[in-house]
């Protein structure tokens, strides 16, 4: 069975009340790596940090793509929740998703047509959305400035672990009557409690974890979860953006992803196009900007809420408990199609035994 929402119907589907995020909580965080300590890089506040970088050309995925785990895409998320928020009753959660899924829907409403496909799965009363078509960029032109990304981050942050593939943060909040859990990658966090000094002095934790640390390996997917290290506070997460002087960082462009992930700190670094040296970057608190963003985009956010409610309704009404959501450029509509058993389950089967309390870990 298939239903659709035409672009002309977005307003008709819009949520009737104010669409805002409330009751934000940091639920968990984890690193995707083969290393002992889960922790985001630490922002370094130093006058000497004016990195000189050269333009890079690369083959990469978009900035919101979570490190791939094709055997079971949502397993790292739920294992982290089980450890960091053991009292969470998942049956009180309506929607679990990655930031990129919400961002794509937001940009679509704004008029930016990017193809996407999202797989939805209903487990208990909770809908799980995960992306099945990473937006991949291939072979940019050799003379094109593709930015600096991770090469810029490295000299201005202090890595807390080795071989890190990205620090994932999981937050929970209410949005337009929907209880949501959202996973996103953060670039760094601000040292608010002397973590760096303690780490350097080895007063917090040894790089080599003790053999009796909490550890679990899923025999089916071979994912190993290790509970060590420390977390960070909700307000300390940092997003790092780099631009040339002729192309300043536009908050209107980056606002959606920071609003969705509720990231309150921003580093905007600029440089002269003819020079590889950046001006000294600094951390900016954008809490008020996010509130203004929410006020200024109410019409878009109400339409976003309406689309999410439609997807949830379709999932809960589907006999299979599965749907595929995609944007059709030709017909200019969102297609929501009931699906069969997916080739790749998004949720670890062993955790289904007690969905409400995660007691199966």
User: In sequence order, which residues have a C-beta less than 8 Å from that of residue 37 and are 6 or more positions away?
Assistant: 31, 160, 161, 205, 207, 209, 228, 229
Q: Which two tokens stand for residue 207?
A: 């790089």
Rounded (5°) CA angle 107-40-225 = 100
Greater confidence (176 vs 212) lies with 176
Mean pLDDT of 335-340: 84
With 50 as the cut, is the pLDDT of residue 203 above it? Answer: no
Domain positions in the chain are 2-346
What is the pTM assigned to this prediction?
0.80
User: In sequence order, which residues have a C-beta less than 8 Å from that of residue 202 and are 6 or more positions away?
Assistant: none
In tens, the pLDDT along 260-304 reads 999 999 887 766 665 555 566 778 899 999 999 999 999 999 999
With 80 as the cut, is the pLDDT of residue 177 above it? Answer: yes
Mean pLDDT of 333-351: 75
The highest-confidence range among 37-41, 146-150, 186-190, by mean pLDDT, is 186-190
Could you tell me where the beta strands, DSSP code E, fall in the chain? 2-6, 21-33, 42-43, 60-61, 95-98, 117-123, 126-131, 136-137, 157-158, 164-175, 178-186, 188-189, 214-217, 224-227, 237-244, 265-271, 283-285, 322-328, 333-338
C-alpha 230, offset from chain centre: 19
Sign of the dihedral through C-alpha 157, 162, 166, 167? negative
Q: Which two tokens stand for residue 71?
A: 């055997």
Nearest to 253 by CA among 150, 106, 137: 106
In tens, the pLDDT along 125-148 reads 899 998 876 544 333 333 344 444
Greater confidence (356 vs 103) lies with 103
**116 near 104, Cβ under 8 Å?**
yes
The strand pairing partners of 293, in sequence order, are: none
Mean pLDDT of 101-125: 89
d(CA 24, CA 203): 31
d(CA 122, CA 99): 18
**329 near 344, Cβ under 8 Å?**
no
d(CA 310, CA 244): 41
With 50 as the cut, is the pLDDT of residue 42 above it? Answer: yes
What is the per-residue pLDDT for 12? 87
Provide the pLDDT confidence category of residue 352 given band limits of 50, 70 and 90.
Answer: confident
What is the rounded average pLDDT for all residues in the chain?
A: 75
Provide the pLDDT confidence category of residue 257 given band limits of 50, 70 and 90.
Answer: very high
Provide the pLDDT confidence category of residue 179 given band limits of 50, 70 and 90.
Answer: very high
Greater confidence (256 vs 13) lies with 256
Residue with tokens 């979570």: 66
What is the per-residue pLDDT for 125? 87
Mean pLDDT of 350-360: 58
Sign of the dihedral through C-alpha 208, 46, 163, 97? positive
What is the per-residue pLDDT for 325? 92
Mean pLDDT of 171-178: 98
d(CA 90, CA 96): 10
d(CA 119, CA 74): 12
């Amino acid at each position: 069975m298939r239903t659709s929402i035409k672009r002309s119907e977005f307003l008709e589907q819009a949520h009737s009340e104010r669409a805002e995020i409330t009751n934000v909580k940091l639920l968990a965080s984890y690193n995707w790596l083969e290393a002992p300590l889960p922790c985001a890089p630490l922002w370094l506040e130093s006058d000497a940090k004016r990195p000189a970088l050269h333009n890079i050309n690369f083959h990469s995925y978009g900035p919101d793509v979570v490190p791939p785990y094709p055997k079971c895409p949502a397993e790292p998320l739920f294992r982290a929740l089980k450890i960091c928020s053991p009292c969470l009753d998942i049956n009180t959660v309506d929607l679990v998703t990655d930031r990129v899924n919400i961002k794509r829907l937001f940009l679509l409403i704004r008029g930016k047509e990017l193809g996407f496909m999202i797989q939805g799965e209903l487990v208990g009363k909770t809908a799980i959305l995960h992306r099945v078509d990473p937006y991949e960029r291939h072979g940019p032109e050799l003379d094109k400035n593709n930015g600096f990304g991770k090469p810029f981050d490295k000299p201005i942050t202090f890595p807390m672990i080795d071989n890190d593939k990205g620090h994932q943060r999981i937050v929970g909040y209410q949005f337009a009557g929907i209880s949501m859990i959202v996973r996103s990658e953060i670039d760094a966090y601000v040292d608010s409690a002397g973590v760096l000094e303690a780490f350097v002095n080895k007063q917090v934790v040894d790089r080599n974890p003790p053999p009796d640390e909490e550890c679990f390996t899923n025999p089916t997917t071979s994912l190993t979860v290790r509970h060590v290290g420390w977390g960070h506070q909700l307000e300390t997460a940092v997003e790092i953006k780099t631009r040339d002087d002729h192309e300043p960082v536009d908050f209107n462009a980056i606002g959606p992803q920071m609003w969705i992930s509720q990231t309150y700190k921003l580093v905007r670094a600029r440089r002269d196009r003819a020079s590889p040296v950046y001006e000294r970057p600094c951390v900016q608190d954008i809490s008020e900007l996010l509130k203004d963003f929410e006020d200024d985009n109410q019409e878009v956010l109400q339409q976003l809420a309406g689309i999410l409610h439609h997807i949830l309704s379709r999932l809960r009404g589907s006999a299979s408990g599965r749907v595929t959501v995609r944007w059709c450029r030709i017909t200019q509509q969102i297609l929501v199609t009931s699906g069969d058993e997916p080739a790749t389950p998004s949720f670890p089967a062993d955790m289904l035994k007690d969905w409400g309390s995660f007691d199966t870990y």
